[in-house]
Amino acid sequence: MLSVEALGKSFGGLQAVQDVTFSVEAGSITAIIGPNGAGKSTLFNLIAGAVRPTSGRIRLNGEDVTGLPAHEMAARGVARTFQSTHLFQEFTVIDNVMAACQLRGGAHLWDALLRTDKLRREAGALREQAMRALAFVEVAHLADRRAGTIPQEAQKRVALAMGIATQPKLVLLDEIAGGLNPEETDRMMALIRRLVDHGMTVCFVEHKLRMVMQLADQVVVIHHGRTIAEGTPAQVSRDPAVIEAYLGGGGIAAGG
Amino acid sequence: MRLRWSFRRLAWMLALLAGLLAPLAVGNPYYLQVLTLGLIWAIGVYGLNIVLGFTGQLSLGHAGFFGIGAYTVGLLTLRVGLSFWVALLAAVVLTMIAGWLVGWICLRTRGHAFAIFTMAVGVIINLLIDKWDSLTNGQVGLVNIPAPNAIGPVSFDSAQARYYLVLVFLVLAAYATWAILRSPIGRAMHAVRQSEELAAAIGIPVMRTKRLAFVLSTVFAGVAGALFAGYLGYLGPDVTGVDITFDMLLYLLVGGMGTVAGPLVGALLVGALTQVLQAFQQYQMLIFGPVLVILIRFFPGGLAGIPAGIRRRRERGPNPPPLAAEPIPAAREEV
Amino acid sequence: MTLLMQEVLGGLVLGSIYSLVAMGLTLVYGVMEIPNFAHGHLYMLGAYITWFLLVSAHFGYWPATLAAAVVLSGIGALLEWVVFRPLRNAPQVHAMIASVGVMLFLEALAQWLWGPDFQRMPTPYGRVLNAGPFTVSEQQLVVIAAAIVCMSLLYLFLKHTPLGMAIEAVAQNRTGARLVGIRTHRISLITFGLSAALASIAASLIAPIHLIFPAMGTMVIMKAFAIIVIGGMGSIPGAIAGGYILALAESIGGAYVSTNYQDVIAFALLALILFLRPSGLFTKGV
């Protein structure tokens, strides 16, 4: 459903991503790995439309979506979460998720000022939708807490709920398990499998190799902004180029 | 929760009652004028609140839009002979168009550049009004601007009647602020303030949201300016000066950014203090300047933000503080 | 032709002042990312202190200028320490609002201490030189020369002293600079002091030509903002070039178009540039 062809992005003179090519099957889980600074987060930013690529193509279900801004990508069913815990700290948990799913709403300024039925109906629907997403990630009980005050695992789950509340087709998870302990990571992995069961396609960036090996159908390895390997976890882990990248020139994979 | 909600509603009811009874209690016409002007400034500050308090963009050209509203009414009633009401409508439309155009250009810049850019726009408007003698009468200003025409039996010749007129618009401004705050649009605006990158990533059209906030803010300023002209009956280029913007900023900061009560509380409280310190006229800023610095450092939520601040501190309780968010590459904005 | 020459001279004098003020503003912006709205009022304070030292304490012109610069650098450093440092991690607008507060305070302070009236500063360089129809005052030449000396000294300081190079390093990358062991807090303090001293010197230089009054900083700071946006925020060569360009445009435009709209030129230019290139004129587009 997603295909990335020879994608490149340079910031000033720095080539963050130079030649990344891979494709993702609908309903699959793809892990994107690589040493620190390999360009993984930039790649997600490119796919999600946060950053405009300087070269290459991105196709979504055949449609050329290269260079579309983030809210257009979101409208096409691409959602992402962020590397660090990054929520609207001052909002309540439910407001965070409602903010994330309101783009479907058609209520305008007049509806807001006149407090029309349409607005009320939509507000109700929005709240329900957000609560469903929160229930899915099992943090519904924290709905009215301020986002900055809940524990880290819960924040990660809220971030995930924000990603899936719009019922996207493709979810990009950027180190969703970063900073979680092994049990928490297991619970997060179970959650990601449930996303796929519910018809979503998942791409994730992760340093935790166990998670990559156990969860991914396909692994894409990026080094110095280029794809150096693509295949099943087993294939990739035997690939000499990958071993070279991790142990040789590229330093050491953090986390583990 | 329910208790606090009804307490808040009660407070608003009492404030409205006080507003309705005020002209009866205030015998002195001078104080009534001070009060009315305070309400007019509050309307303008509600505008600043939407762009700064909701979306977090510091617009320093606010007095310019106030001036556009005021001069539209002044010129159309004096030179063209239109009725105040038509002129008011024209003022709304004109500030809306000006706000849209300026917003369209200014919002291409962000953060600091936006503040500087809007300040430049404010200065341009101020200089134009000041120098364009043949249109605006320059330094002399406009005098004998007619009071709002009577609507049926309701005449606006008396100061009391004009006070109630201003009060109606103030209630509308406060209501609009409240309604927007509680709507998806308000949520989008607050989301943009907290993190433009995250807002864009979850599909909020950041640019459109900021533009809407900016246009709304200029319309509020324009209405306030129009009422100012109709109420006082005279105008000078001073009302468009950047110091007026700074005054409004002070009102907003004292009252509380991003709240419904803030602009009103700030405009009335600072207005009252200004009266108390009147002997001190020229040197008031010796006090208000440091007040601004202290507020932004220790109470960025202003007076109306204090309850929320306490609540937040209580909530934080036993949980560890949240991790500092790492920077995210800047989101690209649509043009 | 004489008129044009005369306007160019006027432009160079004004440009010297604009550049000095804008350099300080852009330096603080580069190092701390704060647009200091109070910068013009530091300039005003510098003028008053110089004037006070000249008239009441009977200093010579240059000792008074230098002493005022030292006092102002102290005030600048104090502001950094008391007002801006605590706001480092607050949202961007907070520091801007704080600087507005400082600005309002300083203007009221000057009014309280010295009254709202205009003051004229005496100068030992009062003679007017005539070359045919062309007239130039000694003070005008002093302004131009002194500004060039200041800019050269600043250049040498930033490029060839360890402290100056540290300031440049922080301006380029604050986190990186801290990682290599530069004490960024100290650098911010020094930068603020330096910036205020530059403003003060500019004010001491121009005050004998213009007048001194509490609001004299307001228009200057707005012009300086226009300049640093034109020149690219944080760029010192940009501030210098922008200062001279704007001043020349103003004096020549004022002479040939209308003095009435002279001040509008700066802001119209600024609006045009922000419209065409939101990142500034001399910055590389990313």
Q: In this predicted structure, what is the pLDDT of residue A85?
A: 56
Quote the crossing angle between the two packed helices B29-48 and B62-75, to the nearest 10°: 120
Q: Is residue C101 part of a domain?
A: yes
Amino acid at residue number C32: M
Q: In this predicted structure, what is the pLDDT of residue B5?
A: 63
Residues in chain C with pLDDT values less than 70: 1, 278-286
- Chains meeting B at 3+ CB pairs closer than 8 A? A, C
Q: Is residue C25 part of a domain?
A: yes
Q: Is residue C160 part of a domain?
A: yes
- Residue A165, φ and ψ in degrees, nearest 5: -65, -30
Find the chain C residues whose C-beta atoms sit closer than 8 A to any C-beta of A. Answer: 284, 286
Q: Within 10 Å of residue C61's Cβ, how many Cβ atoms?
A: 20
Taking contacts as CB-CB distances below 8 angstroms, the residues of chain B near A147 are 322
> Which of B258, B211, B206, B244 has its CA nearest to residue B99?
B211
Quote the crossing angle between the two packed helices C138-160 and C184-206, to the nearest 10°: 170
Taking contacts as CB-CB distances below 8 angstroms, the residues of chain A near B56 are none
Q: Does B113 touch chain C (CB under 8 A)?
A: yes
Compute the distance between CA of residue B67 and CA of residue B71 in angstroms, rounded to an integer: 6
- For residue B285, give the nearest of C29, C86, C107 by CB distance: C107
- What would the mean pLDDT of B216-225 be, rounded to a whole number? 96
CA angle C258, C262, C267 (to 5 degrees): 135
**% of chain A beyond a pLDDT of 90:** 11
> Which of B279, B233, B271 has its CA nearest to residue B251?
B271
B65 — pLDDT class (breaks 50, 70, 90): very high
- For residue B188, give the nearest of A75, A99, A113 by CB distance: A99
Query: What does DSSP say about strands A218-223 and A226-231: parallel, antiparallel, or unpaired?
Result: antiparallel
What chain A residue is nearest to C286 in terms of C-alpha separation? A12
Domain limits at C150?
2-114+133-276
Compute the distance between CA of residue C272 and CA of residue C268 in angstroms, rounded to an integer: 6
Q: In this predicted structure, what is the pLDDT of residue A83?
A: 65
Residue length of chain C: 286
Amino acid at residue number C23: M
> Which of A104, A105, A107 has its CA nearest to residue A74?
A104
Query: What does DSSP say about strands A170-174 and A201-205: parallel, antiparallel, or unpaired?
Result: parallel
Residue length of chain A: 256
The domains of chain B are located at 28-240
Count of domains observed in chain C: 1
Q: Is residue C126 part of a domain?
A: no
| Lowest-confidence segment of A79-93, B56-70, B82-96 by average pLDDT | A79-93
Q: In this predicted structure, what is the pLDDT of residue B320?
A: 38
Residue B328 has pLDDT above 70, yes or no: no
B283 — pLDDT class (breaks 50, 70, 90): confident
Instruction: Give alpha helix (H) positions in B183-305.
Output: 184-194, 196-201, 206-232, 242-255, 262-276, 285-298
User: Which residues, other chains included, contact C203 with Cβ-Cβ below 8 Å and sequence gap of 6+?
Assistant: C43, C44, C46, C47, C50, C68, C216
Query: DSSP E strands: which ranges in C214-258?
Result: none
What chain B residue is nearest to A109 in terms of C-alpha separation? B185
> Which of B228, B230, B232, B220 has its CA nearest to residue B76?
B230
Q: Does B120 touch chain C (CB under 8 A)?
A: yes
Q: Does C144 touch chain B (CB under 8 A)?
A: no
Q: What count of CB pairs under 8 Å joins A to B?
A: 136
Q: Write out residues 173-192 of A within 8 Å (CB-CB) of B.
A: 179
Taking phi over 0 as left and psi of -120 to 50 as alpha, with beta for the rest, A87 belongs to beta
Q: In this predicted structure, what is the pLDDT of residue B335?
A: 31
Compute the distance between CA of residue C260 and CA of residue A34 in angstroms, rounded to an integer: 63
Q: Tell me the pLDDT tens digit for each residue of B178-189.
A: 999 888 888 899
Q: Does C94 touch chain B (CB under 8 A)?
A: yes
Compute the distance between CA of residue B39 and CA of residue B321 in angstroms, rounded to an integer: 40
**% of chain B beyond a pLDDT of 70:** 90
pTM: 0.84
In order of A32, A57, A173, B134, the CA distances from A205 in angstroms are 5, 20, 6, 66
Residue A168 has pLDDT above 70, yes or no: yes
Q: Say whether B265 sits in a helix, a strand or coil.
A: helix
Q: Does A98 touch chain B (CB under 8 A)?
A: yes
A56 in Cβ contact with A4 (< 8 Å): yes
- What would the mean pLDDT of B75-95 be, rounded to a whole number? 92
Q: In this predicted structure, what is the pLDDT of residue A104?
A: 53
A70 in Cβ contact with A48 (< 8 Å): yes
What chain C residue is nearest to A11 in terms of C-alpha separation? C286
Beta bridge partners of A79: A171
Residue B63 has pLDDT above 90, yes or no: yes
Cβ of C100 within 8 Å of Cβ of B292? The answer is yes
Compute the distance between CA of residue A63 and CA of residue A65 in angstroms, rounded to an integer: 6
Q: What count of CB pairs under 8 Å joins A to C?
A: 3
Q: In this predicted structure, what is the pLDDT of residue B325?
A: 35
B272 in Cβ contact with B46 (< 8 Å): no
Complex ipTM: 0.83
Q: Is residue C249 part of a domain?
A: yes
- What would the mean pLDDT of B120-124 be, rounded to a whole number? 88
Q: Say whether B2 sits in a helix, a strand or coil.
A: helix
Report the largest interatomic distance among the alpha carbons of chain B, rounded to a whole angstrom. 67
Rg (CA), chain B: 20
Q: Tell me the pLDDT tens digit for each residue of A173-205.
A: 888 887 788 888 898 899 999 989 988 999 998
CA A136 to chain centre: 17
What chain A residue is nearest to C284 in terms of C-alpha separation? A12
To probe the interface with B, which of C102, C267, C273, C277 has the most B CB atoms within 10 Å?
A: C267
Per the prediction, chain A carries an average pLDDT of 83
What chain C residue is nearest to A10 in terms of C-alpha separation? C286
* Sign of the CA dihedral with B216 first, then B217, B219, and B223 last: positive
Q: In this predicted structure, what is the pLDDT of residue C250?
A: 86
Q: How far is B94 from chain A (nearest CA, A)?
A: 19
Residue B103 tokens read as 């917003």
Residue A166 has pLDDT above 80, yes or no: no
- Chains meeting C at 3+ CB pairs closer than 8 A? A, B
A162 in Cβ contact with A96 (< 8 Å): yes
What chain C residue is nearest to B324 in terms of C-alpha separation? C89
Residue B131 has pLDDT above 50, yes or no: yes
- What would the mean pLDDT of A150-160 be, rounded to a whole number? 86
